[in-house]
Structure 1
Amino acid sequence: MLRGKVVMITGAAHGIGASMARLLHKRGARLVLIDVDEHGLRTLAGELGDDVVVCVCADVNDFDAMRAAAETAVDRFGAIDVVVANAGIEHWAPVQTVEPAAFRRVIETNLIGVFHTVRAALPSIIDQRGYVLIVASASSYTAVPGMAAYGASKAGVEQFANVLRIEVAHHGVGVGSAHMSLVDTPMLRETQSSSAEFTMLLAALPGPLRRTVTADKCAVRLVDAIEHRKRRVDVPRWVAAARWLKPALSTPFAERTLSRQMARIEVT
């Protein structure tokens, strides 16, 4: 049951985070919503419209800010029962041309930002015998050209979740990782609009990998994962097969189509 539980969500102003916040609110959870977009947070809080929502404008790259956000949650609600490390960014560019600063920014936000989020909330989570949900990606299992930083960060947070799960199991804390294919979010639409090459690569993917799911459908699965303290959640469900087939997906045969598409992109 989620009624009365305190759930802290990063990247909460838009996309999956906002959809989760709406659904959790309907189920009676108390929310601590964190994002760098203060206007987006205030808009969402106004929509939810009651006193069981706390908004904190903070950057997951700043550990002190995340620790202050966790302290705000505990001061307001007494504890944190669930933390959802959802904030993330992506950037399309091949390794040979990506700006080092852009590569670093993706790694720091998606990987170090997850650590900051979890580390800040963990003392209260342990006290509550609570639950940690780390939002990874199908990119934890698959490789898409031009997405080296994103793929590395999402593979990294999957392993972070695996390690954390072992470390905190004796405290009664559950840890889950979420792995989604393409989700129709502002982040995905921005990457598509800013990179014709990314769109070309998506067109070369097999049918299921090209299809998007809505943020609302994704949120339903993730909130269910919280309620049942799942170790993993895959959206759509076929993404689970990619985890088991990961070695096969990195064979020359499996990589051939994307490799050929990348060659075409380089000459356009």
Structure 2
Amino acid sequence: MRARTSLEGKVAAVTGAARGVGELLARKLAARGAKIALIGLEPQELQRVSALLPTESGQWHADVTDVVAMERVAREVTERFGTVDIVVANAGVAQGGPFLDSDAHSWSRVVEVNLIGSAVTSRAFLPALLQSRGYLLQIASLAAITPAPMMSAYCASKSGVEAFAHCLRAEVGHRGVKVGVGYLSWTDTDMVRGADEDDVMRELRQRLPWPANRTYPLGPAVDRIVQGIERRSSHVYGQGWLRGMHAVRGYLPGIIAAVGQREMRRFEPRLAATRGARGGLVGAGGAADEKTRAERGA
């Protein structure tokens, strides 16, 4: 285990910083002396978060899938603070429900934000990280380790960002940049609460085997992420038990296929009755993304 390095005076850029993991992570990094660049879709929320921070901070309104906008943000953050030492690619959205019932645009948007947005963020900030020999943390999920029914877009995107981060680590490690992957199980955020508004999604999750069937508090998970950043870790686990999942991940698709078929058969009548009521992005972050796309006619 690597020794922790001080975050005092370091510059950290956090995407998806208006709420949830991103907001609390920004606050905890600032509490350790880091200067914070807040990046997200909700200017008023970003200003609110910035006002809470005890260190120098700035906020940038940008869609992480917009190459031009993120290049501008990376340039302006570097000009503002003089360097960038840490980048956390945290921005993400989710959609729940059977694949065949999903809205095609929303399904694609999950992959676009979570996977393409992470790559766009990395491309924009890597020049600065190469200069500082810094650290990039890609926030993934338990969904990267194991598939799950009703979560095809989210699982696909988080598996993608995990693989992307592993590839990038091999490419830039010799130049002094460390790349980490952060794994979280169900954690108390707007996204998870939004998913739980769907009765079938909530009950299906509650029927998962322990310890994957519960929602975990946000604070301890973010504390673990901060510790991973301090250690420039290759793997960061928001819940300690996730570390052990890697040892059995090869067996999980078969197990999930068998159990999932049984559960989907159980829920099929209820899914059919509510087919027209699902398909969009979940939670307040999903609503912000949909509002932004509507405003620009996307």
TM-score computed with the length of structure 2 as normaliser: 0.86
Question: What CA RMSD, in Å, does the superposition of the two structures yield over aligned residues?
Answer: 1.1
Q: Displacement, 1:102?
A: 1.0
User: 2:124 matched to 1:120?
Assistant: yes
Q: Which of 244, 248, 267 in structure 2 is aligned with 1:245?
A: 248
Matched with 1:258 is 260
SS in 1 for 2:71: helix
Q: Percent identity?
A: 38
CA distance in 2 between partners of 1:209 and 1:202 (Å): 8
For 2:41, the aligned partner's letter is: V
Instruction: Report how many residues are paired.
Output: 265
User: 2:149 matched to 1:165?
Assistant: no
Q: Displacement, 1:242?
A: 1.6
CA distance in 1 between partners of 2:227 and 2:181 (Å): 13
Contact 2:13-2:38 at 8 Å conserved across structures: yes
Instruction: Spell out the pairing of 1:113-262 with structure 2 (5 A cutoff).
Output: 113-193=117-197, 195-251=198-254, 253-262=255-264
CA distance in 2 between partners of 1:81 and 1:221 (Å): 19
User: 2:7 matched to 1:5?
Assistant: no
Moved more, 104-113 or 71-80: 71-80
For 1:65, the aligned partner's letter is: A
Contact 2:31-2:53 at 8 Å conserved across structures: no
CA distance in 2 between partners of 1:17 and 1:10 (Å): 7
CA distance in 1 between partners of 2:230 and 2:140 (Å): 18
Instruction: List, as ranges, runs of 4+ consecutive aligned residues in structure 1 with deviation greater than 6 Å.
Output: none
SS in 1 for 2:17: coil
Instruction: Spell out the pairing of 1:50-69 with structure 2 (5 A cutoff).
Output: 52-69=56-73
Describe the shift of the 1:241–1:49 C-alpha distance in structure 2 as closer, same or farther (beyond 3 A): closer
For structure 1, the 5+ residue unaligned runs are: none
TM-score computed with the length of structure 1 as normaliser: 0.96
Contact 1:204-1:257 at 8 Å conserved across structures: no
CA distance in 2 between partners of 1:113 and 1:254 (Å): 28
SS in 2 for 1:207: coil
Contact 1:204-1:258 at 8 Å conserved across structures: no
Contact 2:141-2:183 at 8 Å conserved across structures: yes
Q: Displacement, 1:49?
A: 5.4
